[in-house]
Amino acid sequence: MDPELNAFYRFLAQPLFFRWRFALALCVIPIALSFTLPLWQITIRSPQVDRDLTLAVYAATIETGNDGRDLHDINVLNHYVGMKPIDRQDLTDLNWIPFGLCLIAILTLRCAAIGNVGSLVDLVVLTGYAGLFGLARFAYRLHSYGHNLSPDAPTPVAPFTPAILGTQLVGDVTVTSQPGSGMILIGLFVAILGAILAYHLVVGRREALAQAATS
């Protein structure tokens, strides 16, 4: 085997640098806070309603503005274009998000306590997969809502995919979708996790090069 590659594999089996274990453990705080904050926020403006309608997606539920009464108005607008009503019972994806976040938090604490560089790589890969899977499911859910329209809608529109990010005009309704503060905290967790991994990999490569040069 290539001496440089062999040295790098040995480095993957090394414990994490002690000072970075604390930073890794602190990464769990943003994950914990994200449970209480919206992951995604949607704002709807329509000439038929004299105020902005808001819908916030949390890790396990959805909440709407005006003490929850916005949900009725949102579903009325959905009815006009043929979309099915928004119902928490139909949003089964929200059932697994808390478990996924808890699992990542537990694995992060385990990695901080007894992990090595290889387990940190596994944690980053798992986190990236969970994030991409969650976004893909969110995109699929939006696509399903916008493409399964009733042919008997009072105001028929062409099938569409609601915007995941940004502003979209559907008929005379303007919809703005953006990450919530909970998703920003998860992004902070991912950024710190990636920075810790990058530091270890840079040092690992240096050590591998140094060992290869002396062998």
The pLDDT tens digits of the residues spanning 166-201 come to 999 887 889 999 999 999 999 999 999 999 998 888
Do the Cβ atoms of 54 and 64 come closer than 8 Å? yes
Nearest alpha carbon to residue 187 among 9, 34, 42, 41: 34
User: What is the reported pTM?
Assistant: 0.86
The fold of the 3-209 domain, in CATH, is Butyryl-CoA Dehydrogenase, subunit A; domain 3 (1.20.140)
For residue 88, the model assigns a pLDDT of 85
Q: What angle do CA 75, 42, 51 make, to 5 degrees?
A: 65
Domain boundaries, the chain: 3-209
Helices (H), ranges, the chain: 3-12, 18-26, 28-34, 70-81, 97-114, 117-147, 181-214
Residue 85, SS3 per DSSP: coil
The pLDDT tens digits of the residues spanning 76-93 come to 988 888 888 988 888 888
Dihedral pair phi/psi, residue 45, rounded to 5°: -120, 130
